[in-house]
Structure 1
Amino acid sequence: MKFATIKTIPKDTEILREGQYVTVIPIVLDGLIKVFTRHEDKELLLYYIKPNESCIMSFAASLTNVPIKVFATVEENTTAMLFPVDKILGWTKQFPDINTLFFQQYNQRYNELIDIIHQVLFDKMDKRLFKYLQDKKVVTHKNPIKISHRQIANELGTAREVISRVMKKLENEGKLKQQTNGIKIL
Protein backbone atom coordinates (compact mmCIF):
# COMPACT_ATOMS: atom_id res chain seq x y z
CA MET A 1 0.00 0.00 0.00
CA LYS A 2 2.97 2.30 0.59
CA PHE A 3 3.80 2.27 -3.15
CA ALA A 4 0.32 1.81 -4.65
CA THR A 5 -1.84 4.56 -6.07
CA ILE A 6 -5.58 4.04 -6.01
CA LYS A 7 -7.20 5.78 -8.93
CA THR A 8 -10.77 6.12 -10.16
CA ILE A 9 -10.90 6.20 -13.95
CA PRO A 10 -14.02 7.33 -15.81
CA LYS A 11 -15.80 5.21 -18.41
CA ASP A 12 -14.49 5.44 -21.99
CA THR A 13 -10.98 6.53 -20.93
CA GLU A 14 -8.20 5.06 -23.05
CA ILE A 15 -5.56 3.92 -20.58
CA LEU A 16 -3.19 2.03 -22.87
CA ARG A 17 -2.32 2.48 -26.52
CA GLU A 18 -0.31 0.08 -28.64
CA GLY A 19 3.34 1.17 -28.68
CA GLN A 20 3.37 2.71 -25.20
CA TYR A 21 5.72 1.56 -22.47
CA VAL A 22 3.99 0.33 -19.33
CA THR A 23 4.77 2.31 -16.18
CA VAL A 24 2.18 0.83 -13.79
CA ILE A 25 0.52 -2.55 -13.31
CA PRO A 26 -3.18 -2.33 -12.40
CA ILE A 27 -5.28 -4.50 -10.16
CA VAL A 28 -8.95 -3.68 -10.70
CA LEU A 29 -10.82 -3.14 -7.45
CA ASP A 30 -14.16 -2.19 -8.99
CA GLY A 31 -15.33 -1.73 -12.56
CA LEU A 32 -14.26 -3.18 -15.89
CA ILE A 33 -11.41 -2.63 -18.36
CA LYS A 34 -11.49 -3.86 -21.95
CA VAL A 35 -8.25 -5.07 -23.57
CA PHE A 36 -8.26 -5.37 -27.36
CA THR A 37 -6.12 -5.33 -30.45
CA ARG A 38 -6.69 -3.20 -33.54
CA HIS A 39 -5.78 -3.64 -37.19
CA GLU A 40 -6.66 -0.91 -39.67
CA ASP A 41 -10.27 0.01 -38.77
CA LYS A 42 -11.11 -3.28 -37.04
CA GLU A 43 -10.81 -4.25 -33.39
CA LEU A 44 -10.83 -7.63 -31.70
CA LEU A 45 -11.73 -7.96 -28.04
CA LEU A 46 -9.10 -10.02 -26.22
CA TYR A 47 -10.39 -9.97 -22.64
CA TYR A 48 -11.89 -7.95 -19.83
CA ILE A 49 -10.08 -7.14 -16.60
CA LYS A 50 -12.63 -7.59 -13.84
CA PRO A 51 -12.37 -6.88 -10.08
CA ASN A 52 -9.45 -8.69 -8.39
CA GLU A 53 -7.74 -9.20 -11.77
CA SER A 54 -4.79 -7.59 -13.49
CA CYS A 55 -3.48 -7.16 -17.03
CA ILE A 56 -1.09 -9.92 -17.99
CA MET A 57 -0.13 -8.05 -21.17
CA SER A 58 1.03 -5.07 -19.06
CA PHE A 59 2.94 -7.39 -16.75
CA ALA A 60 4.66 -9.19 -19.66
CA ALA A 61 5.57 -5.93 -21.44
CA SER A 62 6.98 -4.47 -18.23
CA LEU A 63 9.12 -7.54 -17.49
CA THR A 64 10.93 -7.21 -20.80
CA ASN A 65 10.65 -3.40 -21.08
CA VAL A 66 9.03 -3.54 -24.53
CA PRO A 67 6.12 -1.47 -25.84
CA ILE A 68 2.67 -2.93 -25.25
CA LYS A 69 0.93 -4.52 -28.25
CA VAL A 70 -2.67 -3.93 -27.13
CA PHE A 71 -5.12 -1.16 -26.33
CA ALA A 72 -7.09 -0.83 -23.09
CA THR A 73 -10.11 1.32 -22.37
CA VAL A 74 -12.30 1.66 -19.32
CA GLU A 75 -15.63 -0.03 -20.07
CA GLU A 76 -17.30 1.08 -16.82
CA ASN A 77 -16.15 3.60 -14.21
CA THR A 78 -13.25 1.75 -12.61
CA THR A 79 -11.24 1.97 -9.43
CA ALA A 80 -7.82 0.36 -9.74
CA MET A 81 -4.77 -0.05 -7.56
CA LEU A 82 -1.73 0.93 -9.63
CA PHE A 83 1.72 -0.44 -8.80
CA PRO A 84 4.91 1.06 -10.28
CA VAL A 85 6.63 -1.34 -12.67
CA ASP A 86 10.03 -0.92 -11.01
CA LYS A 87 8.57 -2.14 -7.68
CA ILE A 88 6.70 -5.10 -9.20
CA LEU A 89 9.88 -6.45 -10.80
CA GLY A 90 11.69 -6.53 -7.45
CA TRP A 91 8.66 -7.92 -5.66
CA THR A 92 8.49 -10.93 -8.02
CA LYS A 93 11.74 -12.14 -6.43
CA GLN A 94 10.91 -11.09 -2.89
CA PHE A 95 7.25 -12.24 -2.79
CA PRO A 96 6.58 -15.47 -4.74
CA ASP A 97 2.80 -15.00 -4.40
CA ILE A 98 3.03 -12.19 -6.97
CA ASN A 99 4.36 -14.74 -9.48
CA THR A 100 1.50 -17.07 -8.60
CA LEU A 101 -1.03 -14.28 -9.23
CA PHE A 102 0.40 -13.50 -12.65
CA PHE A 103 0.84 -17.15 -13.66
CA GLN A 104 -2.84 -17.70 -12.82
CA GLN A 105 -3.76 -14.60 -14.85
CA TYR A 106 -1.56 -15.79 -17.72
CA ASN A 107 -3.24 -19.21 -17.72
CA GLN A 108 -6.71 -17.65 -17.64
CA ARG A 109 -5.94 -15.21 -20.48
CA TYR A 110 -4.20 -17.88 -22.55
CA ASN A 111 -7.29 -20.10 -22.32
CA GLU A 112 -9.55 -17.16 -23.23
CA LEU A 113 -7.40 -16.36 -26.27
CA ILE A 114 -7.50 -19.99 -27.43
CA ASP A 115 -11.30 -19.85 -27.12
CA ILE A 116 -11.38 -16.64 -29.20
CA ILE A 117 -9.19 -18.23 -31.89
CA HIS A 118 -11.48 -21.27 -32.00
CA GLN A 119 -14.56 -19.04 -32.26
CA VAL A 120 -13.08 -16.95 -35.06
CA LEU A 121 -11.91 -19.99 -37.02
CA PHE A 122 -14.68 -22.49 -36.43
CA ASP A 123 -17.91 -20.81 -35.25
CA LYS A 124 -20.45 -19.07 -37.42
CA MET A 125 -21.13 -15.43 -36.65
CA ASP A 126 -24.53 -16.10 -35.04
CA LYS A 127 -22.94 -18.37 -32.43
CA ARG A 128 -20.02 -15.93 -31.87
CA LEU A 129 -22.36 -12.96 -31.51
CA PHE A 130 -24.72 -14.68 -29.09
CA LYS A 131 -21.81 -15.90 -26.92
CA TYR A 132 -20.32 -12.40 -26.98
CA LEU A 133 -23.64 -10.92 -25.80
CA GLN A 134 -24.03 -13.56 -23.07
CA ASP A 135 -20.48 -12.87 -21.87
CA LYS A 136 -21.09 -9.10 -21.98
CA LYS A 137 -24.23 -9.58 -19.86
CA VAL A 138 -22.19 -11.52 -17.27
CA VAL A 139 -19.25 -9.11 -17.03
CA THR A 140 -21.37 -5.94 -16.96
CA HIS A 141 -24.20 -7.41 -14.83
CA LYS A 142 -26.64 -5.66 -17.17
CA ASN A 143 -29.56 -6.89 -19.26
CA PRO A 144 -30.44 -5.09 -21.49
CA ILE A 145 -26.94 -4.24 -22.68
CA LYS A 146 -26.47 -0.70 -24.00
CA ILE A 147 -24.18 -1.15 -26.99
CA SER A 148 -24.34 -0.20 -30.65
CA HIS A 149 -24.08 -2.59 -33.58
CA ARG A 150 -20.93 -0.65 -34.59
CA GLN A 151 -19.29 -1.30 -31.18
CA ILE A 152 -20.15 -5.00 -31.36
CA ALA A 153 -18.76 -5.21 -34.90
CA ASN A 154 -15.53 -3.56 -33.76
CA GLU A 155 -15.09 -5.94 -30.85
CA LEU A 156 -15.80 -8.99 -33.00
CA GLY A 157 -13.67 -7.81 -35.91
CA THR A 158 -16.44 -7.67 -38.51
CA ALA A 159 -18.70 -5.18 -40.32
CA ARG A 160 -21.66 -3.42 -38.72
CA GLU A 161 -23.92 -4.68 -41.51
CA VAL A 162 -23.04 -8.27 -40.63
CA ILE A 163 -23.92 -7.67 -36.97
CA SER A 164 -27.23 -6.01 -37.88
CA ARG A 165 -28.20 -8.94 -40.10
CA VAL A 166 -27.21 -11.57 -37.52
CA MET A 167 -28.93 -9.64 -34.69
CA LYS A 168 -32.17 -9.77 -36.66
CA LYS A 169 -31.72 -13.53 -37.13
CA LEU A 170 -31.11 -14.05 -33.39
CA GLU A 171 -34.14 -11.90 -32.60
CA ASN A 172 -36.31 -13.99 -34.95
CA GLU A 173 -35.03 -17.13 -33.18
CA GLY A 174 -36.23 -15.68 -29.84
CA LYS A 175 -32.73 -15.44 -28.32
CA LEU A 176 -32.73 -11.68 -27.84
CA LYS A 177 -34.84 -8.58 -28.15
CA GLN A 178 -33.56 -5.30 -29.58
CA GLN A 179 -35.08 -2.41 -27.63
CA THR A 180 -34.53 1.32 -27.51
CA ASN A 181 -32.71 0.93 -24.18
CA GLY A 182 -30.41 -1.82 -25.46
CA ILE A 183 -30.24 -5.50 -26.36
CA LYS A 184 -32.05 -7.86 -23.99
CA ILE A 185 -30.82 -11.46 -23.82
CA LEU A 186 -33.83 -13.76 -23.42
Structure 2
Amino acid sequence: MEKELKEAYGFLFEKELLEEIVEVGTYRSVPAGEKIMDIGSYVNSMPLMLTGAIKILREDSEGNELLLYFLERGDTCAMTLSCCLGQTKSEVRAVAETDTHLIMIPIGKMEEWTAKYKSWRNFVFESYSTRLSEMLDTIDTIAFLNMDERLMRYLRDKAKITGDETIQNTHQQIAYDLHTSRVVVSRLLKKLELEGKIKLQRNQIQVIDL
Protein backbone atom coordinates (compact mmCIF):
# COMPACT_ATOMS: atom_id res chain seq x y z
CA MET A 1 0.00 0.00 0.00
CA GLU A 2 2.79 2.44 0.92
CA LYS A 3 4.50 2.08 -2.46
CA GLU A 4 1.24 2.66 -4.38
CA LEU A 5 0.41 5.63 -2.17
CA LYS A 6 3.75 7.32 -2.87
CA GLU A 7 3.40 6.71 -6.61
CA ALA A 8 -0.10 8.26 -6.67
CA TYR A 9 0.25 11.06 -4.11
CA GLY A 10 3.94 11.46 -3.29
CA PHE A 11 4.22 14.59 -5.42
CA LEU A 12 1.17 16.14 -3.68
CA PHE A 13 1.50 15.39 0.03
CA GLU A 14 4.17 15.99 2.66
CA LYS A 15 6.12 13.02 3.99
CA GLU A 16 4.38 13.38 7.37
CA LEU A 17 0.93 13.33 5.78
CA LEU A 18 1.78 10.23 3.73
CA GLU A 19 2.89 8.51 6.92
CA GLU A 20 -0.40 9.39 8.64
CA ILE A 21 -2.40 8.09 5.68
CA VAL A 22 -0.58 4.75 5.90
CA GLU A 23 -1.22 4.66 9.65
CA VAL A 24 -4.98 5.42 9.65
CA GLY A 25 -6.11 4.48 6.15
CA THR A 26 -7.88 1.24 5.26
CA TYR A 27 -6.72 -0.46 2.07
CA ARG A 28 -9.45 -1.80 -0.24
CA SER A 29 -9.22 -3.90 -3.38
CA VAL A 30 -12.39 -3.70 -5.47
CA PRO A 31 -13.05 -5.85 -8.57
CA ALA A 32 -14.54 -4.29 -11.71
CA GLY A 33 -18.31 -3.93 -11.51
CA GLU A 34 -18.52 -3.92 -7.72
CA LYS A 35 -20.46 -1.15 -5.98
CA ILE A 36 -18.29 0.91 -3.63
CA MET A 37 -20.91 3.35 -2.39
CA ASP A 38 -24.66 3.57 -2.98
CA ILE A 39 -27.28 6.27 -3.01
CA GLY A 40 -28.85 6.76 0.41
CA SER A 41 -25.96 5.28 2.39
CA TYR A 42 -24.09 7.23 5.05
CA VAL A 43 -20.47 7.96 4.24
CA ASN A 44 -17.96 7.63 7.09
CA SER A 45 -14.77 7.64 5.04
CA MET A 46 -13.47 9.07 1.77
CA PRO A 47 -11.49 7.28 -0.94
CA LEU A 48 -8.02 8.06 -2.22
CA MET A 49 -7.56 6.35 -5.58
CA LEU A 50 -4.38 4.31 -5.99
CA THR A 51 -5.05 2.38 -9.20
CA GLY A 52 -8.00 1.67 -11.47
CA ALA A 53 -11.08 3.76 -12.23
CA ILE A 54 -14.46 4.42 -10.60
CA LYS A 55 -17.57 5.84 -12.25
CA ILE A 56 -19.86 8.15 -10.29
CA LEU A 57 -23.57 7.90 -11.17
CA ARG A 58 -26.79 9.74 -10.35
CA GLU A 59 -30.22 8.11 -10.37
CA ASP A 60 -33.66 9.56 -11.16
CA SER A 61 -36.97 8.71 -9.45
CA GLU A 62 -37.53 5.80 -11.86
CA GLY A 63 -34.16 4.21 -11.17
CA ASN A 64 -32.46 5.33 -14.40
CA GLU A 65 -28.76 6.13 -14.03
CA LEU A 66 -26.67 8.93 -15.49
CA LEU A 67 -22.87 8.96 -15.56
CA LEU A 68 -21.46 12.12 -13.94
CA TYR A 69 -17.70 11.55 -14.08
CA PHE A 70 -14.86 9.07 -13.64
CA LEU A 71 -12.24 8.95 -10.87
CA GLU A 72 -8.69 7.84 -11.61
CA ARG A 73 -5.41 7.43 -9.73
CA GLY A 74 -4.65 10.47 -7.59
CA ASP A 75 -8.33 11.51 -7.41
CA THR A 76 -10.97 11.63 -4.73
CA CYS A 77 -14.72 12.23 -4.99
CA ALA A 78 -16.04 15.72 -4.13
CA MET A 79 -19.50 14.28 -3.50
CA THR A 80 -17.98 11.96 -0.88
CA LEU A 81 -16.16 14.90 0.70
CA SER A 82 -19.44 16.82 1.00
CA CYS A 83 -21.25 13.86 2.57
CA CYS A 84 -18.42 13.24 5.02
CA LEU A 85 -18.17 16.82 6.19
CA GLY A 86 -21.94 17.30 6.37
CA GLN A 87 -22.59 13.78 7.70
CA THR A 88 -25.40 13.36 5.18
CA LYS A 89 -26.49 10.46 3.00
CA SER A 90 -24.83 9.91 -0.35
CA GLU A 91 -26.62 11.26 -3.42
CA VAL A 92 -24.46 9.31 -5.87
CA ARG A 93 -23.49 5.72 -6.62
CA ALA A 94 -19.84 4.71 -7.07
CA VAL A 95 -19.02 1.60 -9.12
CA ALA A 96 -15.59 0.22 -9.99
CA GLU A 97 -15.09 0.59 -13.74
CA THR A 98 -11.92 -1.51 -13.63
CA ASP A 99 -10.19 -3.48 -10.88
CA THR A 100 -9.45 -0.74 -8.37
CA HIS A 101 -7.24 -0.23 -5.33
CA LEU A 102 -7.93 2.61 -2.91
CA ILE A 103 -7.36 3.84 0.63
CA MET A 104 -10.34 4.85 2.76
CA ILE A 105 -9.70 7.79 5.10
CA PRO A 106 -11.84 8.25 8.28
CA ILE A 107 -13.99 11.39 8.50
CA GLY A 108 -12.25 12.71 11.61
CA LYS A 109 -8.87 12.86 9.89
CA MET A 110 -10.22 14.92 7.01
CA GLU A 111 -10.98 17.94 9.21
CA GLU A 112 -7.81 17.50 11.25
CA TRP A 113 -5.63 17.39 8.13
CA THR A 114 -7.37 20.41 6.60
CA ALA A 115 -6.08 22.48 9.54
CA LYS A 116 -2.73 20.71 9.81
CA TYR A 117 -1.51 20.27 6.22
CA LYS A 118 -1.53 22.89 3.48
CA SER A 119 -1.13 20.18 0.81
CA TRP A 120 -4.30 18.45 2.05
CA ARG A 121 -6.30 21.72 1.95
CA ASN A 122 -5.11 22.38 -1.59
CA PHE A 123 -5.96 18.83 -2.60
CA VAL A 124 -9.51 19.09 -1.22
CA PHE A 125 -10.18 22.47 -2.86
CA GLU A 126 -8.71 21.30 -6.17
CA SER A 127 -10.86 18.15 -6.02
CA TYR A 128 -14.01 20.23 -5.56
CA SER A 129 -13.02 22.46 -8.49
CA THR A 130 -12.18 19.54 -10.79
CA ARG A 131 -15.34 17.55 -10.04
CA LEU A 132 -17.52 20.68 -10.45
CA SER A 133 -15.95 21.33 -13.85
CA GLU A 134 -16.59 17.72 -14.87
CA MET A 135 -20.24 17.89 -13.78
CA LEU A 136 -20.71 21.15 -15.69
CA ASP A 137 -19.13 19.45 -18.68
CA THR A 138 -21.65 16.60 -18.30
CA ILE A 139 -24.52 19.11 -18.20
CA ASP A 140 -23.18 20.85 -21.31
CA THR A 141 -22.88 17.50 -23.08
CA ILE A 142 -26.51 16.62 -22.32
CA ALA A 143 -27.80 20.08 -23.20
CA PHE A 144 -25.82 20.88 -26.32
CA LEU A 145 -24.59 17.68 -28.00
CA ASN A 146 -26.58 15.29 -30.15
CA MET A 147 -26.82 11.72 -28.86
CA ASP A 148 -24.29 10.41 -31.40
CA GLU A 149 -21.80 13.07 -30.25
CA ARG A 150 -22.49 12.16 -26.61
CA LEU A 151 -21.94 8.50 -27.39
CA MET A 152 -18.65 9.15 -29.19
CA ARG A 153 -17.44 11.31 -26.32
CA TYR A 154 -18.40 8.57 -23.86
CA LEU A 155 -16.46 5.94 -25.84
CA ARG A 156 -13.36 8.14 -26.02
CA ASP A 157 -13.53 8.81 -22.27
CA LYS A 158 -13.89 5.08 -21.55
CA ALA A 159 -10.89 4.26 -23.75
CA LYS A 160 -8.82 6.90 -21.97
CA ILE A 161 -9.88 5.78 -18.48
CA THR A 162 -9.18 2.08 -19.09
CA GLY A 163 -6.10 2.68 -21.23
CA ASP A 164 -7.57 0.35 -23.85
CA GLU A 165 -9.13 1.33 -27.17
CA THR A 166 -11.28 -1.82 -27.01
CA ILE A 167 -14.36 -1.36 -24.81
CA GLN A 168 -16.06 -4.41 -23.30
CA ASN A 169 -19.38 -2.83 -22.22
CA THR A 170 -22.66 -4.17 -23.58
CA HIS A 171 -25.00 -1.88 -25.51
CA GLN A 172 -27.39 -2.04 -22.55
CA GLN A 173 -24.72 -0.89 -20.09
CA ILE A 174 -23.82 2.04 -22.33
CA ALA A 175 -27.51 2.92 -22.52
CA TYR A 176 -27.70 2.93 -18.71
CA ASP A 177 -24.70 5.25 -18.43
CA LEU A 178 -26.07 7.67 -21.04
CA HIS A 179 -29.66 7.51 -19.76
CA THR A 180 -31.09 6.31 -23.08
CA SER A 181 -32.34 3.06 -24.63
CA ARG A 182 -30.35 0.08 -25.91
CA VAL A 183 -32.05 0.38 -29.31
CA VAL A 184 -30.83 3.97 -29.69
CA VAL A 185 -27.29 3.00 -28.64
CA SER A 186 -27.17 0.07 -31.07
CA ARG A 187 -28.41 2.24 -33.93
CA LEU A 188 -25.89 4.99 -33.23
CA LEU A 189 -23.02 2.53 -32.86
CA LYS A 190 -23.80 1.23 -36.34
CA LYS A 191 -23.80 4.83 -37.61
CA LEU A 192 -20.43 5.54 -35.98
CA GLU A 193 -19.01 2.35 -37.50
CA LEU A 194 -20.14 3.43 -40.96
CA GLU A 195 -18.40 6.76 -40.37
CA GLY A 196 -15.17 4.90 -39.58
CA LYS A 197 -14.98 6.13 -35.97
CA ILE A 198 -15.39 2.73 -34.31
CA LYS A 199 -15.30 -0.95 -35.21
CA LEU A 200 -17.93 -3.27 -33.79
CA GLN A 201 -16.83 -6.77 -32.76
CA ARG A 202 -18.52 -9.52 -30.80
CA ASN A 203 -19.24 -8.03 -27.36
CA GLN A 204 -16.58 -5.37 -28.01
CA ILE A 205 -16.25 -1.87 -29.45
CA GLN A 206 -12.91 -0.72 -30.81
CA VAL A 207 -12.49 3.07 -30.80
CA ILE A 208 -10.61 4.13 -33.92
CA ASP A 209 -11.16 7.90 -33.81
CA LEU A 210 -9.48 8.77 -30.49
Q: TM-score range by the shorter chain?
A: over 0.9
Matches within 5 A, 1:31-180: 31-39=52-60, 40-180=62-202
Which has the higher mean CA deviation after the structures are superposed, 124-133 or 39-48?
A: 39-48
Q: Indicate yes or no: 2:57 matched with 1:9.
A: no
Report the 3-state secondary structure (helix = DSSP H, G, I; strand = E; otherwise coil) of the residue aligned with 1:81. strand
Q: Which runs of 5+ in 1 are unaligned?
A: none
| 1:111 aligned partner, one-letter code | S
1:105 to partner: Cα distance: 1.1
Counterparts of 1:114 and 1:7, CA distance in 2: 30
Q: Is the 8 A contact 2:33 2:95 kept in 1?
A: yes
Counterparts of 1:146 and 1:32, CA distance in 2: 15
1:41 to partner: Cα distance: 3.4
The corresponding residue for 2:17 is none
Counterparts of 1:106 and 1:71, CA distance in 2: 17
> CA deviation digits over 1:6-43, x for unaligned, max 9?
22112211111111111111111011111111122321
Report the 3-state secondary structure (helix = DSSP H, G, I; strand = E; otherwise coil) of the residue aligned with 2:23. coil
1:96 to partner: Cα distance: 2.6
1:97 to partner: Cα distance: 1.8
Q: Is the 8 A contact 1:36 1:43 kept in 2?
A: yes
> How many equivalent pairs are there?
186
| 1:26 aligned partner, one-letter code | P
1:181 to partner: Cα distance: 4.8
State the identity as a percent.
Answer: 35
Counterparts of 2:46 and 2:63, CA distance in 1: 28
> CA deviation digits over 1:56-104, x for unaligned, max 9?
1111111111111000011111110111112112221122321210111
Q: Is the 8 A contact 1:11 1:77 kept in 2?
A: yes
Which has the higher mean CA deviation after the structures are superposed, 89-98 or 148-157?
A: 89-98
Q: Which runs of 5+ in 2 are unaligned?
A: 1-21
The corresponding residue for 1:22 is 43
| 2:152 aligned partner, one-letter code | F
1:54 to partner: Cα distance: 0.7
Report the 3-state secondary structure (helix = DSSP H, G, I; strand = E; otherwise coil) of the residue aligned with 2:70. strand
Q: Is the 8 A contact 2:77 2:131 kept in 1?
A: no
Higher RCO (CA-CA < 8 Å; seq separation 6+): 1
User: Cα RMSD between the aligned structures?
Assistant: 1.1
The structure 1 segments of at least 4 consecutive aligned residues displaced by more than 2 Å after TM superposition are none
Q: Is the 8 A contact 2:32 2:96 kept in 1?
A: yes
| 2:25 aligned partner, one-letter code | A
Q: Is the 8 A contact 1:144 1:181 kept in 2?
A: no
